[in-house]
Amino acid sequence: MVISIKAWMKSGLVLGLIGGILAGCSGGSGSEQAEGEGARGNITSTIYDRGAVPSGMGTIEDNMWSKWINENGPANVKYTAVPRWESQSKLNVLFASGSAPDVIFEFGTPIRNTLFNQKQLMPLDELIENSSVEYKALMEKYPQLKKAGIKSDGKLYEVGRMNEVFPLTSFFIREDWLEKLNLEVPTNEAEMLAVAKAFTENDPDGNGADDTYGIGGLQFGDTAGLFRYMYNANWVNVEDGEIVVGPNHMKEMTAFKRALFEAGVVDKDFLTDKDGAKSKQDFLNGKIGMYAAMTADYTGFAAKELDTLMQNVPDAKLNVIALPSTSVGQYTMVWNNPVQMTAVVNARAKNPEAVIQYIDFLTKTETGRTVKNGFEGTHYTLNEQGCPRISDQEKYKQEISWAGDYAMLYSRLEEGKCGYTEMLFSEEIPSQKEGLRLFKEAREVYMNDLPVGEGVTHSEHMPQLPKELQVKLTNVTTAINDIFTRSIISGSKYTVEQAAAEAQQKWEQGGGLEIETWYKEWWSKEKDNVLVWDDFYEIYEQQQADFKKSE
């Protein structure tokens, strides 16, 4: 007995000691919001929690920015934190128990659709018509916002923001390797294979060792998407105005991947590199000649990946190249979604007017600019072009960097030229300067009228299948992906033709026809209401024209 108490105290002591070592300062958190004056409405709202609020700044639901919004906004807002990566289950519980906030911020289209299907959302048409100023004006300027926010019953349920259109992924080639081996930029499958072979076998990095690959991983990570876009290999495509559902172009895509695999131009262990981390490392260490990288955030890409590559391999020179043409045509890289829906309103909101006023406040450019940049003089200064530049990185990190989710209704481009990505690079830093060059190149190469290799439209604008069909689709797509993957690595034992036949059979057995019927019906009803790539291209041209005007 005595011994056991001692032992317990010891283990307790260990816990305590470790805590004691780590202790230095403890996070102080503020208390309740002050009650406002009578005329202001009281509303509640979600805010994503990403566990990124520095100690001493309070919590994500109660901090200098929530206070600022309460002081400067039209309503008293009480925030409920929703963990970013578990938002679905958190929202389910909040709604089921009747304690969901009035305004729900959610990026995930399926999650918002589910709430709509459960009749948890409030239609906003009349409210916006009667009570809104800012959002109404934005919606008049961009009718696409209205189009995207309307649900299948013809009413408007979602509000959102306008984003800049640019390519989400860039297909890079090592320009210095091309020059060294006297090669041309590949424009079709055969040339791509030949260049990849040369990059693998002719020692382009000149170290005398056989340690380079022509291309990044085939199955996982950023480069995997490249093949999908190259071949427009999607489950739902549109051809001549008609919807086509099934393993579209996957046979052709697989045949090419198999050719690459058999030529030995890709890491043989690509299947074990589950998140593409290995191929990314190879690329950043200068061992891969062609690599597609996610560049949704080009400034971030420049600061992190590009900077690392430039440090590791000072001679490396990247270029962005167009997707090579294929046996099923030529396509272009996927673009950003310019009309992004980010918020819905709870059907049980008690004070819808106050909710709309709050939405209006968040839509205002001044609000977004302040939340994103802080206060002039304290956090930023204006540079010669009149755009905010962070003046104190430490202070920015401490007070601003984590507050971005308060600006989910902020349409950055409304600010004028300062909102455009190309103004965000700090050209005095070499990797940023190079990043800006690549960003402009990517835009030049991918923003054109070739069809985008991601089917009908950006995934955020695709409809939600009914639950049982969704399950079937998930099962059948997983099975078919496995079949095609097998045919990449199996040599003569299992050919692509065999795989394609088996895949077709699987598709029919696994409910493919039902899924096809559902999508066809949706398309025949909704095709005029869905925003598609052509709409986005129009927005792009408009945005670029506005930019030129503002210069």
Identify which of residues 96 and 190 has a Cβ nearer to another protein in the complex: 96
Name which of residues 357 to 396 contact another protein (CB under 8 A).
Answer: 372
Q: How far is the CB of 510 from another protein (least distance, A)?
A: 28
Interface with another protein (CB under 8 A), residue from 141, 268, 274, 304: 304
Q: How far is the CB of 422 from another protein (least distance, A)?
A: 10
Q: Sketch the per residue contact string, 161 through 180, with another protein: x for CB under 8 A, - otherwise.
A: --x----x------------
DSSP secondary structure, 283-325, as one string: HHTT-EEEEEEE-SSHHHHIIIIIHHHHHH-TT--EEE-PPPB
Name which of residues 203 to 232 contact another protein (CB under 8 A).
Answer: none
Q: Sketch the per residue contact string, 447 through 466, with another protein: x for CB under 8 A, - otherwise.
A: -------------x------
Q: How far, in Å, CA of 169 to CA of 439, rounded? A: 10
Tell me how many residues contact another protein (CB under 8 A). Answer: 79
Identify which of residues 14 and 501 has a Cβ nearer to another protein in the complex: 14
| Total number of residues shown for the chain | 551
Identify which of residues 329 and 430 has a Cβ nearer to another protein in the complex: 430
Q: Sketch the per residue contact string, 116 through 155, with another protein: x for CB under 8 A, - otherwise.
A: ----------------------------------------
Q: How far is the CB of 57 from another protein (least distance, A)?
A: 9
DSSP secondary structure, 156-194, as one string: B-EEEEE----BSEEEEEEHHHHHHTT-PPP-BHHHHHH
Interface with another protein (CB under 8 A), residue from 33, 42, 50, 259: 50
Q: Tokens 């439209």 correspond to what residue?
A: 457
Q: How far, in Å, CA of 114 to CA of 94, rounded? A: 14
Interface with another protein (CB under 8 A), residue from 23, 34, 39, 209: 23
Interface with another protein (CB under 8 A), residue from 36, 110, 123, 404: 404
Identify which of residues 49 and 414 has a Cβ nearer to another protein in the complex: 49
314 makes contact with another protein (CB under 8 A): no
Contact predicate 284/308, CB 8 Å = yes
Interface with another protein (CB under 8 A), residue from 133, 190, 277, 382: 277
Which pair of structure tokens corresponds to residue 66? Answer: 């929530």
Mark the segment that binds another protein (CB under 8 A) among 126-134, 141-149, 273-281, 521-529: 273-281
108 makes contact with another protein (CB under 8 A): yes
For residue 342, report the phi and psi dihedrals to the nearest 5 degrees. -130, -10
Question: Which residues 6+ apart lie within 8 Å of 408 measured at CB?
Answer: 105, 107, 161, 342, 343, 362
Contact predicate 441/321, CB 8 Å = no
Q: 339: which DSSP letter?
A: E
CA dihedral 232, 237, 240, 242 (to 10 degrees): 170
Name which of residues 64 to 93 contact another protein (CB under 8 A).
Answer: 80-81, 83-86, 89-90, 92-93
Nearest CA to 164 out of 547, 551, 543 is that of 543
Contact predicate 349/101, CB 8 Å = no
Which pair of structure tokens corresponds to residue 430? Answer: 């070499």
495 makes contact with another protein (CB under 8 A): no
284 makes contact with another protein (CB under 8 A): yes
Mark the segment that binds another protein (CB under 8 A) among 195-203, 377-385, 407-415, 446-454: 407-415
